[in-house]
Chain A
Amino acid sequence: MADLFDRFESLRARRDGLVGDGGHDPFQVEMDEVLSQTEAMIEGRRTILAGTNNYLGLTFAPESLKAAHDALDAAGTGTTGSRVANGTYSGHKALEHALCSFLGKEHAIVFSTGYLANLSVLSTLVGPDDYILMDADCHASIYDGVRMGDAQIIRFKHNDAADLDKRLARLAKKPGNKLIVIEGIYSMLGDKAPLDEIVAVKKKYDDVYLLSDEAHSLGVLGRYGRGLPEEVDLEDDVDFIVGTFSKSVGTVGGFCVSSHPQFDLLRLACRPYIFTASLPPSVVASAKTSLELVEKGGALRKRLMRNAERLHSGLSALGFTLGGDVSPVVAVVAPDVEIGVAFWRGLIDGGIYVNLALPPATPQNFTLLRCSLCAAHTTEQVDRIIEVFAEVADTLGMLPKQPKKKAALG
């Protein structure tokens, strides 16, 4: 007898292998109580959160809480409708205007999540005669978005502008628009796109557009937190910026901005915009307020980067293999899945929450203990994270090599 769920047999086997002897399921962690931006109670234990993507720690910003409370009381718990029906309130339009003025683009559309922003734009913007050239390490929402659309999908090697160039050259004689898709900071390893090289390649060819997903770099990079394009002063060369409110902005939702004069037509074409409910007023209000805090958040960015450097150099000095450059994402590479899972358990038992990331969701088949820092982490918390990493590595007998004498910064 074939059961409907037989097709998930390999998933079941893999999950049972991970959870093993009644241990925690790394993918079903429950926070009993959230104590602050950086701490929660997990299984009755006070736990430092080092895997939340809450980069600036704005989830409890008093101004944003107040804006959310006011909007909740004034406009209710939800819109109960899609943006194209009854789900567009003045707050949604105000948020779109705020995004335009913050990011210096003419048009903005707010979506219900970052995932839906990518599904919307990537499935719609390019058609059957067009080409998407996407970085191979792009996020699942980008893969899903392009698969929902009709364009030809071509992957180029991660962060390899020469490979992109080669692939664009082969397409140069073919009609159709080409859309390059990259990310400002790649979520798993925390490495940045070589935007200057990619823009230089883009400029060599006709009919090429560039879209950058700034999910992990908005609020993090650039003097005013406008992401990688601001940091490297190439904002005018990025035609479309996609982003999320669920990381630095501290709530939920997604957006796309562009100065293309016809951009608003996407509102009539994007199915994940048309056929889903819009964000509730309280979320919209806190997003708009937090965006202002992001722009004014120079001090928060400094604290965030200081924490990132401290964790990066601390773990590196212990001999761990780290996935990328110094960034608020610090990914520790585990030798294999089994050790990765045991390590993750050791961390959670030691009161540290990080993300366990397994293939195929990771680049190069890595098993990752992915940490993300918060501006609100104290120095003591960062040091405690490093300490527990050292303890667990010791317990597992896997301190990769002898500790260096002194952490080398940068």
Chain B
Amino acid sequence: MTQHDDHDLALLVRDDPVHTGPADTARMIRVGTRLRRRRQVGIAAAVGLAAAAVVAPFVLLGGTDTAVDTDLAPAGQTSASTSEAAQDPSTDPTQVTPKSLRDLSGSAQVCGVAVCRVSRGTVGSVERGEVIGTRLEMGTFDGVPEVLYAARNKGFDTITGKPKDSVDVLSAGIVVDGQLRRTVWSFQPVEEAGVLGPVFLYGAQRTIAEDGTPQFAMFGLIEGEHQEVTATVDGQSRPVAGLSTTVYPGYTAFYDRGPWDESWGDRAEITYGVPGGPSCTPLECGMIG
């Protein structure tokens, strides 16, 4: 690196136009608040476990009532040392007490498998890629079909950062007035072979169904064509909600949904796989966007 190089780069930076579009600060605050609450839930859980670890021997050994009253709070409460979580939410709606560890914003996203209803209404980019297989219908969301599909896109390969003639990407979307709108740009499995896979999972976080109940929803891909993909919870297996071997040639695309178990952490603790074949949990293979 020479001073000449430094100078040239400084000129390029100086001449580069700054972005002129608007910032969606409200969305950042909404997402940031959610992240903050998740962290607080984690802290509260850790404090609860730590308190239980300290107190359990006292209880087992016939410890005093005082120890239990002060250190092992009843379910739904926490130690006073949980800083922000112990404050009164009436003074600051972003602060949470143990009674309000769930999203209090009143704008909880209501989700299908992939698409979520947000304040701005219909979401999604018009799919400009060429759909290369069939569309797997995952049901309807907000009255429109939600589908899983693969599209061939031209342009840059964002994995390598290099221009590429085309990349085939598994995506999810909705069909509005006959127009396919992409809501999630997901996997480019061929390019990722050897790095990820053979199971690719997306989603599985806690969301709210249209009927107001907590649920999880996710979709994925498994290398090869399989007639069965199972979801296993606590040793009990069942078929996933839907699958297809014609969405993404050479792979089995599937989706799944179900009620949320409040004992789960950030993501549904479910193992997805092929009987006798590869399997994975969202914690190992999944990504939350």
A complexed with B: no
Q: What is B's interface to A at a CB cutoff of 8 Å?
A: none
Q: What is A's interface to B at a CB cutoff of 8 Å?
A: none
